[in-house]
Amino acid sequence: MIEVRQIKKAFNDEEVLRDVSFKLRENETLSVLGASGSGKSTLLKIIAGLLDGYSGTILVNGKAIDDVKPKNRGTVYIYQQPLLFPHLNVEQNIAFGLTIRDRENSFIQEETGRMIAELQLQGQEHKYPHQLSGGQQQRVSFGRAFIIRPEMLLLDEPFASLDPSTRRDMQILFKEIAQKEGITSLFVTHDLKEALITGDRFGMMSAGKLRVFDDKESFIKDSESGVQEEIQFWKEIQNH
Amino acid sequence: MNRTMLKNTVIRRSLAGLFLLLCALPVVLAMGYAALYSVGLTGLQSDGFMLQHWATLFQGEFLSSFLYSLWIAGASSALALATALAALFTLRKELTDKRVYRMLFLPLTVPPVVIGFVIYQLFSGGGILSRVSYQSGLIDQISHFPEFVHDAYGVGIILAHLFIGFPFFLILLLNLYQQNNLDELEITAASLGAGRKDILLRVHLPVLLKGIFPVVSLYTIFFMGAYEIPLILGQSSPQMFTILILEKLQRYSLSDIPVAYAMALFYAIICIGTLSWLMMQYKKRWN
Amino acid sequence: MTRKISITFLLLIFLQPLLVLLYLSFSTQWHYPSLFAHPFTTQHWQTLLSESSALIKSIGISIMISTLVSFVATGMGFFISRGIAYYTKSRWWLTSAYFPYVIAPVVLAVMLNFYFLKMGLTGTFAGILLAQLLITIPYSVIFFHSFWSSTILEREYLVATLGGNFMTSLRHAILPSAKGLLVVCYFQCYLISWFEYGLTQYIGVGKVETLTILVYRYISEANPYLAALAGLLLLIPPLVLLFVNRSFFIQNVWKS
């Protein structure tokens, strides 16, 4: 269980995060919807340990991790850009986290093979990042993160640069694998549909404040989430 | 690229012809003449086809010269690369400051003949460093100053090449670092659990070395074919390849001339061969 | 603090040629083990200003050669590279342009000398020009190759469909984008020519005394003072160019 308590952060006297608090249960995905500049990326970076100078605390299974270095937090940050290692092929990129932990070769091969199959990357194992499409690269990026079973995955609009149909495929794939692998994640996006597809619980970020909804129904019914507006829009289209 | 619109065959052929005339033909003519002379089919002492001069190339002073040139070239490139990498990892933040970055270009303004001259004036027995050593009591005779020029290991030549290679490689490494988002890759690797040693050995170095490899290879060839610097700083035997070629051509022994041409052709083949191999390895970058 | 010291140390290393040359150009009777005890003089600089100075003559020759070579190489390379980019498919055309550039100029000169002798160009100004063009034109072709992209081609098509001819295309579609690059190439070829020693010395047989050849002559005559002065003069154009725009120094032919 991951708990974030009253995180406040300001950049040059401008408050970017105001008393942000939430709890994230194991194996669940909290999708946070918010526009650009709402503070979503700042929150992710603070949880990852990439930003300091904030007040509040972050707890993993009851232990505060505010002074723990990024590499020891067990959180993996996934950017919009896949940031694959250009000198390693698909297999090597996915296996990276296990290789540096000196796991046995047989274990690495088995896990990598399994992950490649789950990510539908069979046949691409020996290709290098520049030989892959955007969607394939992002899948490798996921595989690289999933394989080490992080405490928490922090996703910062990971599909924003993909075309609509690839994006949709990736959202569904992410949901399937996250559930299968039992990954806890915080998924940040400005796309309503993406939030609904990927999340188990939902949040809305606006002007540095976070509201969390305990279930899909309350999120859908809320007037500010945008779901009602969307439903109304399609109804009007249909009636005309 | 659609070429159907620019169909003028006359212009097309003229430009291609001009290219061949000015770029390719001189090399063909040069290597052709050298080849003919080196096998005895032309020249002042041409006695008909023979491979004897080529055999001489891999013996005695010619072989020593070739190995010496390889040593100088390899040591120069390796040292320049090592020092550039060390500077990159220890001083990267300072080096990205515009004024400091611009300073890296200063050595590129100095021609090789001047570098050779300056190194000589600094490091020779009667040079500035020897005088400083004498004045500060480190030595009490000029002969006690170590040999850095005209020496067996080519220290002076290597130092001169270092002066050229270090800043150039460092500039390229800084650009490669930025182009490959190494800062962000470092964060990604750290979040996957990599420590500093892993990041250096598994992320930074492989990416940078792969990127800089073509340039280092080419510079190794350039160092091997250096002329002005070894002319001023080199020893009398063995000499650098290019110095030996010119010496053999300009001295009185006519029998050395075909060997000199064989040497020149041999060097040209190495350069072209290495370049072509590099081009084939990195063909994707050309698209 | 250590970093600041390291950067300062690097700067000193990079400046040492300039400092050494200045020191020597104002020195005389520089006998061992004197560092500052020997006389300092402006006599060598005064030689520079005298009419019969070999230095002035060499400067003039070097400027003329470098100006002509870079002008011709830039112009010809620009159009030849257009031909290669637009009309050829094989990568080997561009690869072969590297060959004259990658073989040491002095080795190329050695192998071509026979032809220069036959054409009566050895020891002549024209011979030096031609020899230097043989290395700068290919350089220029490589330099401009990536300029001729599909964007430029599409602009040329546009001009053609609007009724323009090649000159119109040149004026409105090509030169506006190429201006900056033409200047950079000009100065890079200028520096290749300005620094050139081995090929110039071999083909010129010492009769065409450029500034680099003069530096070497003074070195062999054991006249470090004039060698230093000539060396300083050699540094002036590159330092000015560096001050104006450092892009004149990055050889973008190696960009990857």
Quote the CA–CA distance of A168 and A197 in Å, as a whole number: 9
User: Looking at the DSSP assignment, which residues form a beta bridge with residue A213?
Assistant: A202
CB contacts of A100 in chain B (<8 Å) are 189, 192-195, 198, 202
Q: What pLDDT, on a 0 to 100 scale, did the predictor assign at position B251? A: 77
* Among B51-60, B161-170, C100-109, the range of highest mean pLDDT: B161-170
pLDDT band for position B8 (50/70/90)? low
Q: How far is B207 from chain C (nearest CA, A)?
A: 13
| Residue C178, number of CB atoms within 10 A of its CB | 17
Does pLDDT of B1 surpass 70? no
Q: Which residue of B has its CA nearest to A50?
A: B187
Asked which of B32-46, C5-19, C55-69 is least confident by mean pLDDT, the reply is: B32-46
Report chain A residues whose CB lies below 8 A from the CB of B176.
none
Chain B residue with CA closest to A48: the answer is: B191
Q: Any idea which of B126-140, C224-238, C241-255 has the lowest mean pLDDT?
A: C241-255
| pLDDT attached to residue A104 | 92
**C123 against C163, higher pLDDT:** C123
**Among A25-29, A190-194, A215-219, the least confident range:** A215-219
CB contacts of C95 in chain B (<8 Å) are 275-276, 279
Q: How high does pLDDT run on average in chain A?
A: 89
State how many domains chain A has. Answer: 1
Q: Is C90 in CB contact (< 8 Å) with chain B?
A: no
Picking from A81, A100, A145, the nearest residue to B194 by CB comes out as A100
* B102 Cβ contact partners less than 8 Å away, ≥ 6 residues apart: C242, C246
CATH number, span B31-282: 1.10.3720.10
Residues A40-55 have pLDDT tens digits of 888 988 998 888 889 9
- Above 90 in pLDDT, residue C146? no
Flag if B190 and A100 touch (Cβ within 8 Å): no
Flag the least confident range among B47-56, B77-86, C38-47, C240-249: C240-249
CB-CB contact of C241 with C184 (8 Å): no
At B236, is the pLDDT very low, low, confident or very high (cuts 50, 70, 90)? Answer: confident
Task: Determine, for residues B206 and A87 on separate chains, whether the beta-carbon distance falls below 8 Å.
Answer: yes
Q: Is the pLDDT of residue B282 over 80?
A: no
Minimal CA separation from B186 to chain A, in Å: 10
Q: What is the pLDDT of residue A56?
A: 92
Rounded mean pLDDT, B14-28: 83
CA A33 to chain centre: 12
Of B33, B109, B268, which is closest to C242 when you measure between CB atoms? Answer: B109
Q: What is the pLDDT confidence band of residue C168, given thresholds at 50, 70 and 90?
A: confident
pTM assigned to the model: 0.85
What is the model's pLDDT at position A150? 87
Q: Hey, which residues 143-182 in chain C have their CB within 8 Å of chain B?
A: 150, 153, 156-157, 160
Asked if residue B263 has pLDDT above 50, the reply is: yes
Question: Chain centroid to CA A79: how far?
Answer: 8
Instruction: Write the DSSP symbol of residue B89.
Output: H
Query: Cβ contacts (< 8 Å) between B19 and chain C: which residues?
Result: 80, 83-84, 93, 97, 141
CATH topology of domain C62-208: MetI-like fold (1.10.3720)
pLDDT value at residue A91: 96
Confidence grade of residue B9 (pLDDT, cut at 50, 70, 90) = low
Instruction: Check: CB of residue C80 under 8 Å from CB of residue B15.
Output: yes
Chains touching A by CB (3 or more pairs below 8 Å): B
How far apart are alpha carbons A235 and C91 in whole angstroms?
Answer: 58
Percent of chain C residues topping a pLDDT of 70: 95
Chain B residues whose beta carbon lies within 8 Å of the beta carbon of residue A71: 190-191, 193-195
Distances (CA, A) of A41 to A157, A190, B225, C131: 9, 11, 54, 60
Q: What residues of chain C, 102 to 131, have a C-beta less than 8 Å from chain B?
A: 102-104, 106-108, 110-112, 114-115
Chain C contact present for B284, CB below 8 A:
no
Q: Is B194 on the interface with A (CB under 8 A)?
A: yes
Give yes or no for a cis peptide into B238 (omega within 30° of 0). Answer: yes
The continuous run of DSSP H or E covering B27 comes out as: helix B25-38
Note whether C3 contacts B: Cβ–Cβ < 8 A. Answer: yes
Q: Do C197 and B100 touch (CB under 8 A)?
A: no
Residues in chain B: 287
Residue B181 buriedness (CB in 10 A; 0-12 / 13-18 / 19+): middle
The whole-angstrom separation of Cα B263 and Cα B225 is: 11
- Determine the pLDDT at residue C255: 39
Sort strands A2-11 and A55-60 into parallel, antiparallel or unpaired.
antiparallel
Judge contact between B233 and B156, C-beta under 8 A: yes
Q: Report the C-alpha gap between A217 and A208 in whole angstroms.
A: 24
Of residues B193, B195, B206, nearest to A97 (C-beta): B193
- Please list every residue in chain A whose beta carbon sits closer than 8 Å to the beta carbon of residue B204: none
Mean local confidence (pLDDT), C171-178: 84
Confidence of residue C250 (pLDDT cuts 50, 70, 90): low
Asked if residue A28 has pLDDT above 50, the reply is yes
Give the H or E element holding residue A120.
none
Instruction: Encode pLDDT of C45-88 as tens digits.
Output: 888 877 567 888 899 999 999 999 999 999 999 988 888 888 77
What is the least distance, in Å, from the CA of B37 to any CA of chain A?
46
Nearest residue to A74 (alpha-carbon basis) of A189, A154, A9: A154
Q: What are the residue ranges spanned by the domains of chain C?
A: 62-208
Distance from chain centroid for Cα C116? 22
For residue A124, give every residue at least 6 positions away whose Cβ sits within 8 Å of its Cβ, in sequence order, or none: A90, A116, A132, A136
CATH number of A220's domain:
3.40.50.300
ipTM of this predicted structure = 0.88
| Structural domain containing residue A211 | 2-239
- For the ranges A122-136, B6-20, B267-281, C241-255, the maximum mean pLDDT occurs at A122-136
Of C103, C157, C231, the CB nearest to B114: C231
Is C touching A (3+ C-beta pairs, cut-off 8 A)? no
C87, C108, C134: residue with CB nearest B16: C87
Q: How many CB pairs under 8 A join A and B?
A: 59
Q: Choose among C10, C87, C97: nearest Cβ to B15.
A: C87
Sign (positive or negative) of CA dihedral B248, B250, B255, B259 = positive
In what side-by-side order are the strands of the sheet with A14-24?
Answer: A14-24, A2-11, A55-60, A63-64
Q: What distance, in Å, lies between the first and last C-alpha atoms of chain C? A: 36
Position B76 pLDDT exceeds 90? yes
C-alpha–C-alpha distance, residues C37 and C28, integer Å: 11
Q: Judging by DSSP bridges, how do beta strands A29-34 and A201-206 pair with one another?
A: parallel
Contacts of B73 in chain C (CB under 8 A): none
**Number of CB atoms found within 10 A of residue B100's CB:** 15
Q: Which residues of B touch A87 (CB under 8 A)?
A: 206-207, 210
Chain C residues touching B167 at Cβ < 8 A: 14
The fraction of chain B above a pLDDT of 90, given in percent, is 58
Chain B 90-109, residues with CB within 8 Å of chain C CB atoms: 90-91, 94, 100, 102-109
Q: B270 exposed, middle or buried (CB, 10 Å; 0-12, 13-18, 19+)?
A: middle
CA triplet B258, B259, B264: central angle to 5 degrees?
Answer: 95
Q: Which residue of C has its CA nearest to B139?
A: C33
Predicted local distance difference test score (pLDDT) of residue A136: 93
**B192 near A CB under 8 A:** yes
The pLDDT value recorded for residue A53 is: 86
Task: Please state, for a pLDDT cut of 90, what percent of chain C lies above it.
Answer: 51
